[in-house]
C-alpha cells in the first residue's frame, strides 16, 4: 500500500503534490490532501479521478483510498 499526495487548486484543478508537502491549506488557495492505503496497482491518475467525484469534509486532509471509492 502506498500514500499519494494530491493538491486541489482553488479553481478546481487537481494534481499530484510533492511527497514532502504538508497536508492542509497552502499559502495560496490550494489544499494538499494525503490519500492513504493506495493499492500498488492504482496510479496517481486513478487517485485523481476518484478524488474529482469525492466531496472532502472541512478540516480533514487525510483520507483512505477506500473512502474515495465509497
For residue range 12-66, list pLDDT tens digits in order: 899 999 989 999 999 888 999 999 999 999 999 999 999 999 999 889 999 999 9
pLDDT of residue 28: 87
Q: Is the pTM of this model over 0.85?
A: yes
Mean pLDDT of 2-14: 94
Can you spell out the DSSP letters for the chain? Answer: -EEEEEEE-TTS-EEEPPTTPPSEE-SSS-EEEEEEEE-TT--HHHHHHHHHT--PPTT--EEEHHHHH-
- Its domain, for residue 27, covers 2-69
Going by C-beta distance under 8 Å and a sequence separation of 6 or more, which residues neighbour residue 68?
35, 47, 50, 51, 54
Q: pLDDT at position 58, please?
A: 85
Q: What is the tally of structural domains in the chain?
A: 1
**What is the predicted pLDDT for the residue at 10?**
87
Residue 7, CA atoms < 13 Å, CB-side half-sphere: 16
Amino acid at each position: 500500500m502506498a500514500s499519494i499526495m494530491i493538491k486541489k487548486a482553488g479553481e478546481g484543478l487537481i494534481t499530484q503534490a510533492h511527497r514532502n508537502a504538508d497536508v492542509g491549506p497552502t499559502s495560496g488557495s490550494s489544499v494538499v490532501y494525503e490519500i492513504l492505503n493506495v493499492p500498488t496497482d492504482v496510479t496517481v491518475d486513478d487517485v485523481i479521478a476518484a478524488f474529482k467525484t469525492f466531496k472532502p469534509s472541512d478540516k480533514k486532509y487525510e483520507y483512505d483510498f477506500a473512502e474515495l471509492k465509497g
